[in-house]
């Protein structure tokens, strides 16, 4: 690397005739030379300590000014131009956490216009393998990263959790390619239907697509739960539609203001917040489980048919997996029977596991790991896989009865994500009202959740 000149040094230069340009005696005079030498000795004797002090101070100042780490004297490797730019950003930002993730290397995915997804490849059976290509976006390249998922902004320093990719057994999972994805969805409308984890998935896709075209916000409701973005160049509309249970549900209130912590769920009625838009959707990415882990009374045909976490006499006790199964069945039946939804493609996304360790979310549970875990290290419990199994069963059931024109796929991420406890925000989610509580449910952006869109692109390619 070319060295930087010392900023306060000066260089001597000779004039054209070789003279020194002295003043006070004619050139060549013996008196001039003697007096000049005496004067110079006096000046140098008095000025030398000052010059040495100035040189020392300037050297130290310059070292601290230009060294990225003045207390580490290990020789630095030769830097590329990109690394120099990143270093300058760090120096300008100091310890500002807003700029921490600018050191994440970005590498666009390779374009594979002729790559075909192997039809017989089991995408979701495999393992995580090291991949040092880095993240595919950051704060600067994706300004829509929500604050609560912006882990680097809130002080997360480790980055190794970004250096992994999913490797299916026996085949290769192509990394998300925004150009190829836009080629699939051009002129279409896609909606993510579900809870805040569905929103998390939507936000990952928004960031990945924004590397090709900047989206334009078209709609946001007052609660910021339902949003619409438009990609004009590709005539593509991307939505997220909020629903807790897919079916209609109500929260019981005390004095109309305070939650009683109990919900009533109606298994024979869908949540119209999303169902009324079905006819306008070309792609539906459907999910939703996390809200079922609470006290819920289940209604069908105007009768209470069961309850979750109630232990009430004369009321049948239901477990979470059966309630999830029945709610998803109602949603998939509605889509399959929709006469106006002639060519709708539906992808069922399975349960995204949380990773609280040493407690629950409200009892000191944390998720502090910095890399993938082995499956034996994770106490998954039966609920995670039992819920996933019921979701897959409902997908298989509706696929056997699929009506003409419609297509169904499954995004089976449960086992894939079970071994990624390192991908959650943990304490780095910036909630001022819940300091000390860890978010081990949602996923950092960028992060392991981005692989969901690698899977999504592969699934949509198969279903075309």
Asked whether the CA dihedral 263, 433, 423, 371 is positive or negative, the reply is: negative
DSSP secondary structure code for residue 277 in this structure: T
Residues 6+ positions from 249 with CB-CB distance below 8 Å: 263, 264, 265, 266, 271, 296
Residue burial 149-188, b: 16+ Cβ < 10 Å; e: rest = bbbbbbebeebebbebbbebeeeebbbbbbbbbbebbeeb
Task: Tell me the C-alpha distance between 238 and 192, whole Å.
Answer: 8
CA dihedral 411, 416, 417, 419 (to 10 degrees): 170
Task: Tell me the C-alpha distance between 132 and 6, whole Å.
Answer: 36
Annotated catalytic residues are 196, 439, 442
- For the chain, report the end-to-end CA distance as a whole number of angstroms: 51
Furthest-apart CA atoms within the chain: distance in Å: 123
DSSP string computed for 140-181: TT-TT--GGG-TTTTT----GGGSEEEEETTS--PPP-HHHH
């Amino acid at each position: 690397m070319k060295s930087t000149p010392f900023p306060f040094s000066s260089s001597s230069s000779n004039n054209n005739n070789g003279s020194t340009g002295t003043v006070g005696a004619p050139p060549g005079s013996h008196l001039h030379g003697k007096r000049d030498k005496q004067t110079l000795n006096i000046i140098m004797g008095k000025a030398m300590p000052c010059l040495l002090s100035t040189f020392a101070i300037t050297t130290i100042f310059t070292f601290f000014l230009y060294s990225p780490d003045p207390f580490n004297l290990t020789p630095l490797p030769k830097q590329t131009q990109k690394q120099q730019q990143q270093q300058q950003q760090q120096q300008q930002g100091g310890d500002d956490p807003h700029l921490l993730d600018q050191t994440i290397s970005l590498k666009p995915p390779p374009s594979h216009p002729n790559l075909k997804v192997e039809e017989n490849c089991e995408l979701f059976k495999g393992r995580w393998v090291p991949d040092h290509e880095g993240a595919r976006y950051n704060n600067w390249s994706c300004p829509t990263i929500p604050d609560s998922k912006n882990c680097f902004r809130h002080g997360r320093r480790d980055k190794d959790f970004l250096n992994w990719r999913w490797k299916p057994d026996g085949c290769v999972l192509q990394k998300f390619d925004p150009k190829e994805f836009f080629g699939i969805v051009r002129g279409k409308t896609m909606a993510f239907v579900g809870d805040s984890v569905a929103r998390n998935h939507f936000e990952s896709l928004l960031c990945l697509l924004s590397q090709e075209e900047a989206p334009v916000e078209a709609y946001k409701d007052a609660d910021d739960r339902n949003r619409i973005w438009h990609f004009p160049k590709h005539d593509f509309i991307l939505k997220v539609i909020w629903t807790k249970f897919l079916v209609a549900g109500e929260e019981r209130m005390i004095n109309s203001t305070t939650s009683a912590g109990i919900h009533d769920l109606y298994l024979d009625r869908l949540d119209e917040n999303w169902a009324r838009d079905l006819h306008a959707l070309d792609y539906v990415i459907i999910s939703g489980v996390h809200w079922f882990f609470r006290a819920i009374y289940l209604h069908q045909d105007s009768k209470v048919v069961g309850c979750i976490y109630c232990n009430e006499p004369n009321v049948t006790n239901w477990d979470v997996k059966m309630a999830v199964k029945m709610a998803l069945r109602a949603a998939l039946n509605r889509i399959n029977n929709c006469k106006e939804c002639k060519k709708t493609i539906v992808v069922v996304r399975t349960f995204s596991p949380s990773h609280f360790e040493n407690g629950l979310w409200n009892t000191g549970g944390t998720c502090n790991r910095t890399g993938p875990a082995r499956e034996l290290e994770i106490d998954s419990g039966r609920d995670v896989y039992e819920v996933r199994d019921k979701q897959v069963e409902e997908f298989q059931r509706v696929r056997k009865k699929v009506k003409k024109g419609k297509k169904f796929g499954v995004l089976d991420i449960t086992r894939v994500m079970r071994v990624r406890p390192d991908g959650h925000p943990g304490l780095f989610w910036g909630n001022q009202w819940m300091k000390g509580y860890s978010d081990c449910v949602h996923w950092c952006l960028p992060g392991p959740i981005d692989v969901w869109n690698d899977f999504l692109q592969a699934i949509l390619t198969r279903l075309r």
